[in-house]
Amino acid sequence: MKEKNKLVVAISSRALFDLEEGHEIYMNQGVEAYCQYQIEHEDELLEPGVAFTLVKKLLALNDNNSDVEKVEVILLSKNSADTGLRIFNSIESHNLPIVRAAFTSGDSLYRYIKPFGSDLFLSAEPNDVREALEMGFAAAAILPSASRSNDDGPLRIAFDGDAVLFSDEAEKIYREGGLAAFDAFEQSAANDPLPGGPFKDFLASLHRLQKEYSFDDSPIRTALVTARGAPAHERVIRTLRAWDIRIDEAIFLGGKSKGEFLKAFGADIFFDDQSGHCESAAEHVPAAQVLHGVANQ
């Protein structure tokens, strides 16, 4: 199990590095051709993947002068140990302090999330993400994207609200009765905190890390970027207050597209449950779909 108060992020090799060429060989030519390709290229450095900058900034939260580790990143890969040698060579070449890993030779990755004590699992494989979410872990499927976040500045993580930080109860009402029913329900329940969603605990862990710094010097910034607008904003604000969780920026868009706002925030990653929002966001910033709730049934 993880050390107390340490944030543990498990990430698949395809989210960390650009392995799409090898994955295409695997899909079109099979396992044997894929293995041969990786072994032949194991001395060639892998290029950063969609979540590379996110991982780099997470690991930078550790103080090299301290014995206390604030963040650990675990590599989970469907490669074998043999074909995974290229991945570890690339980790070393990119100076990423990642020392723990599981290579499953094509088998599911989600089984190792709990033993490693992970707070978050990021993968390019939707099925593994669904399994992890069903087990109660924060998990999301990284979308392919040419967008890369800025290497400089603080770690910036943005979240959608319903079915991500919060439960999908309000989303269900919207789908059943439309916007008017949604707004009426949220107004009537404005003083009742929303139930937590799959990413509530992950946000709480980020907030715990933030409290180790002064407000002005924090290397972490969080944002809620939601399609909600007034009057449905009040319940969200009161929910975060009830949870005693700080969110640095809250953007209530009232249905407006999220991409440009996420770019303005400078998100290193954005989590949303709906594929359309994720695909739009991925044109501007790295994005990952939380395959949870009524939108994914």
Average pLDDT over residues 250-266: 94
Q: Give the residue, 259 or 232, on which the prediction is more confident.
A: 259
Mean pLDDT on 267-296:
94
Among the listed residues 288, 229, 280, the one whose alpha carbon sits nearest the alpha carbon of residue 258: 280
Averaged pLDDT for residues 257-277: 95
What pairs with residue 77 in β-bridges? 103
Contacts of residue 177, defined as CB under 8 A and 6 or more positions apart, other chains included, come to none
- Looking at residue 142, its pLDDT comes to 95
Say yes or no to pLDDT of 60 above 80: yes
Q: Write the pLDDT tens digit of every residue in 95-123.
A: 999 999 998 888 888 899 999 999 999 99
Residue 226's pLDDT is: 93
Contacts for 129-136 with beta carbons within 8 Å, 24 or more apart?
Answer: 129/289, 129/291, 130/291, 133/198, 133/290, 133/291, 133/292, 135/110, 136/198
Mean pLDDT for the stretch of residues 32-51: 86
For the segment 67-86, what is each residue's pLDDT rounded down to a tens digit? 789 999 999 988 888 888 88
Instruction: Find all residues with CB under 8 Å of 189, minimum gap 6, and list them.
Output: 235
Instruction: Name the helix (H) or strand (E) containing 56.
Output: helix 52-59
Q: What pLDDT, on the 0 to 100 scale, is given for residue 170?
A: 84
Give CA–CA dist 117/201, Å, rounded. 13
What is the residue-averaged pLDDT of the chain?
Answer: 90
Half-sphere CA count of 155, side-chain side, radius 13 A: 21
Buried b (16+ CB within 10 A) or exposed e, 42-77: beeebebbbbbbbbbbbbebeeeeeeebbbbbbbbb
**pLDDT band per the 50, 70, 90 thresholds, residue 3:** low
Residue of higher predicted confidence among 261 and 44: 261
Of all residues in the chain, what percent carry a pLDDT higher than 90?
A: 61
> Is pLDDT above 70 for 2?
no
User: What is the DSSP secondary-structure string of 192-210?
Assistant: SPPPB-TTHHHHHHHHHHH
% of the chain at pLDDT higher than 70: 98
The helix (run of H) or strand (run of E) holding residue 177 is: helix 169-188
Residue 40 backbone phi and psi in degrees, to 5? -65, -25
More reliable by pLDDT, 200 or 20: 200
Residues 143-169: tens digit of each pLDDT:
987 677 777 889 999 999 999 999 998
Instruction: Enumerate domains of the chain plus CATH numbers.
Output: 7-142 (3.40.50.1000), 155-296 (3.40.50.1000)
pTM of the model: 0.92
Any idea which residues carry the catalytic annotation?
160
